[in-house]
Structure 1
Amino acid sequence: MAHIDYYFGTPSPWSYLAGDRLERIAEKHGATVTYKPVDLLQLFDRTGGVRPANRHPSRLEYRAQELRRWSETLDMRLNLKPAFWPVNPAPSSYAIIAAQAAGGGDLPGLVQRFLRAVWADEENIAEDAVIRAKLSASGFDPALADKGLFIGAETFGRNLEQAVEAGVFGAPFYVVRETGERFWGQDRLDFLDRHLAGL
Structure 2
Amino acid sequence: MHQIDYFFSVLSPYTYLAGTRLEEIAAKHDATINYKPTDITALFGRTGGTPPKDRHPSRQEYRAQELVRQAKKLGMPFNLQPAHWPTNGAPASYAIIAAIHAGGGDVGKLVHAFLRSVWADEKDIADDAVVRACLEEAGFSPSLADSGLLQGAETYATNLEEAANRGVFGAPFYIAQGDNRFWGQDRLDDLDLHLAGKL
Q: TM-score range by the shorter chain?
A: over 0.9
Distance of 1:112 and 1:58 partners within structure 2: 29
Match of 2:149 in 1: 149
Match of 2:64 in 1: 64
TM-score by length of 2: 0.98
Deviation at 1:120, TM superposition (A): 0.1
Distance of 2:13 and 2:192 partners within structure 1: 21
Match of 1:46 in 2: 46
Distance of 2:77 and 2:132 partners within structure 1: 23
The alignment partner of 2:33 has SS state of strand
The alignment partner of 2:175 has SS state of strand
Task: Confirm whether residue 124 of structure 1 aligns to residue 119 of structure 2.
Answer: no
The alignment partner of 1:143 has SS state of helix
Please tell me the residue identity of whatever aligns with 1:157.
A
Match of 1:104 in 2: 104
Unpaired runs of at least 5, structure 1: none
Deviation at 1:151, TM superposition (A): 1.1
Deviation at 1:187, TM superposition (A): 0.2
Alignment size in residue pairs: 198
The alignment partner of 2:105 has SS state of coil
The runs of 4+ residues in structure 1 deviating greater than 3 Å are none
Distance of 1:87 and 1:52 partners within structure 2: 14
Match of 1:114 in 2: 114
Match of 2:5 in 1: 5
Distance of 2:138 and 2:190 partners within structure 1: 29
Please tell me the residue identity of whatever aligns with 1:102.
A
